[in-house]
Every structure is written in C-alpha cells, then in structure tokens.
Amino acid sequence: MSRVRRASHAGSWYTSSASELNAQLEGWLNQASPVHWPARAIIAPHAGYFYCGACGGHAYRQVDPTNIKRVFILGPSHHVRLSGCALSTTEKYETPLYDLLLDQKIYEELYSTGSFEPMTIGTDEGEHSIEMHLPYIAKVMESRQGQFTIVPVLVGSLSTDKERHYGQIFSRFLADPENLFVISSDFCHWGKRFHYTHYDKSCGDIWQSIETLDRKGMDLIESLNPMAFAEYLRKFGNTICGRHPIGVLLNAVDALKKHSNGRTMSMKFVQYAQSNQCHSTSDSSVSYASASLVLR
C-alpha cells in the first residue's frame, strides 16, 4: 500500500506554491459571504482554479470548521470505468499547504458494507475531481489542522438504484453534525468537443440557453428530490459530470427525511459561473455552481 497520494495536479491545475495558493484561497473566500450556513454539505466545482476557484470560494465560505471532525469528499470518476464506489489505498493526501489524513476507521465501516472497492494509486493520482478540493479543505479547516480526517470516495456511473443504495449508506454520516460532505461537480460541458450542443433559441444567446438549462437542474437539486433530478438528466442529458455524487447526496437527504423528527433541510445555490460565454456552435464552455446544504 502506498502511504501517500501526491498532489499530482499541483503546478498545473493550481499553483504548487504554498504562499501563492494560500493568498489565492484567502482572496476568493473573502469575496464570498456566509449566506446559507453552517453547511452540512456543499456542492463545488473541480476545474482548474483559474476557471472555477472564485466560484468554489462561495461554497467553502458556507463552512464552519468549529465542530467538524471528518470531511467526506465524493468525486466522479473521469478516467476509469466504475459501476460502484471506490476508496483510496493511501494513508494521507498531500497538498501544498499541509497533508490531510484519511480516516481508516470510517473506511473499515464502508468496506464492511460490501459496496466499496479499492482504487489503485494510479487511478487515485490520475483523478482530479477529489484533489481539486483538497487545498480548499485544508484552508477552511486550518484552525483544526491535525484534528480532522478526510474520507475520499470515487463515485462511478451509478444507476438510480445504486444512487439510492449509497445514499442510504451515507445518510447516517450526513446526520452527524461532526461530518461535512463535499460533492465535487462541474455543470454543463457545452460544445462539439464535449459532444453536447443543446440549444433552446427561445432563451436568447447560446450561453443564456446553457444557464437556463443549468438553473433548471439547480432548482431540482434545491428541491431535494432525487427522482426529479434523475428525470431531468434523462430528459436533457445535461453533461453535469458530478451528477452521480449529487444523486448520492440527494438520496442520503431523502433517507434522512424519513427519520427527520421535525428536522428541516435546505439546499441553496450561492454562485453560478461559466468559463466562457458561447455565441456560436464553434464555441465551448464549462459551467460551475456552488451550493450549500443546511440541516437544522
């Protein structure tokens, strides 16, 4: 077992300089406000920080680190075919700021369900969807450095039944106020290079059509209805790369609702952005959105 996962995307997707990274993250967090907090779960993007760092700051600004002992990170698999969920085989993840320790006890609990498999170190280091959240987690949790662990989970192409199954597994962890869930997802990948060019001309320009489409999905996520979100994906095929981690979260919330005892749950999107405003079919863009789930 390799003990350490390198920060394999540092120096390309984000700066490997600790001082520069710290200043960037502080700047983005300071630009945001705590408008829907304290978050029990957030949805945030995972592209290069040049494109989505500022958007992600709005999600992480909703986090209160005071009582958090564990951070679950659910990221989609971009490079490896996976029909379930996989766990890291390392003991810690490197970041330019400081290393993050994996929670081996929680991993044992997850493995005991028979629903998780190990991922190779090559798969782990080749995937960016989890790594892009590590610097932000290290930053917002810096006051509790050494007092919290992370639980990275690689999420495959799940059926709706499997999303429900994993949602039930994670629901008891979501119920615990000492846990924070980070759901890693970009939104619409639009353009010929993404093989997705849905365009509703009644919305105006292409970029406006993309935003309208994304906001339909965001509204359904805010409704906390996993079946409605799944139907939206079937109808429009929106290329939301973290749709399965989002589906797992929605199903975890749905499972909690059945035993809520008057608890209120509220999801709110706090920021939306696009990498580029598309005006023609030769253009392309990726959308980014940040959201916060509050349980009271």
Single pTM value for the model:
0.97
Of 31-40, 120-129, 222-231, 254-263, the poorest mean pLDDT is in 254-263
The closest alpha carbon to 47, from 242, 236, 181, belongs to 242
Task: Read off the amino acid at residue 43.
Answer: I
Q: Do β-strands 70-76 and 179-184 pair in parallel, antiparallel, or remain unpaired?
A: parallel
Q: What is the pLDDT of residue 296?
A: 87
Residue range 228-256: mean pLDDT, rounded:
97
Residue range 22-27: mean pLDDT, rounded:
98
- Residue 37's pLDDT band, with cuts at 50, 70 and 90, is very high
Biggest CA pair distance of the chain? 55
Is 115 a residue whose pLDDT tops 70?
yes
Is 2 a residue whose pLDDT tops 80?
no
Residue range 6-15: mean pLDDT, rounded:
96
Is 24 a residue whose pLDDT tops 80?
yes
- The rounded percent of the chain whose pLDDT value lies above 90 is 95
Q: What is the pLDDT of residue 211?
A: 98
d(CA 253, CA 175): 9
Q: Which residues contact 143 (CB under 8 A, 6 or more apart)?
A: 65
Q: What is the pLDDT of residue 259?
A: 78
Q: What is the pLDDT of residue 122?
A: 93
- Residue 6's pLDDT band, with cuts at 50, 70 and 90, is very high
What the chain holds in terms of domains, given with CATH numbers, is 4-295 (3.40.830.10)
pLDDT, one tens digit per residue, over 155-200 is: 999 999 999 999 999 999 999 999 999 999 999 999 999 999 999 9
Alpha carbon 91 to its chain centroid, in Å, reads 21
Q: What angle do CA 183, 245, 111 make, to 5 degrees?
A: 100
Q: What is the pLDDT of residue 219?
A: 98
Q: What is the pLDDT of residue 1?
A: 57
pLDDT, one tens digit per residue, over 62-88 is: 999 999 999 999 999 998 989 999 999
